[in-house]
Amino acid sequence: MSDYLIYHNPRCSKSREALQGLRDCGIEPEIRLYLDEPPSAEELIKILAALGIPARNLLRSGEDEYAQENLSDPTLSESDLIQAMVQHPRLIERPIVIRDHTRAVLGRPPERIAEILD
C-alpha cells in the first residue's frame, strides 16, 4: 500500500496533472475515484483537518448542487457543508493528495503537491 492517496477524478485535467506529477516523482499513489466511492463525513472531517481548512473552502461553488442546496448561505454549519459533500461528491474540490493519513494538500494548481513531498 502506498503512503500517498489521491482523491481523483480522471475527467479533471488538474486531477490528471497531479496524478502524473506524483508518478513523475516515482510515487504510485492509491487512487480513490471519489465520485464512485464518496468519502464519509468522518473521512471528510479528517481530510479537512489534514488540509487545515474549513469545509466551505473545499466546496466547488460552480456546481449545480451548490446553488440547488443553497450552500452560499453563511449560516450553514461545518456539519451542514460536510453532509452536502457526502450527498453530492461533485461538490468536493479536487484533487486532494494525502500523505501518511496526516498531511494533505489540495492540488490546485497541481504543482502544490510538491508541498507534501520530501
pLDDT score of 1: 66
Question: What are residue 18's phi and psi, to 5 degrees?
Answer: -65, -45
Low-confidence ranges of the chain (pLDDT < 70): 1
Q: What residues are labeled active site?
A: 12
Residue-level pLDDT at 32: 97
- Distances, alpha carbon 64 to alpha carbons 21, 39, 76, 88, in Å: 30, 20, 18, 10
Q: pLDDT per residue over 64-77, tens digit each?
A: 999 999 999 999 99
Q: Per-domain residue ranges for the chain?
A: 4-116
Domain 4-116 is found in CATH 3.40.30.10: yes
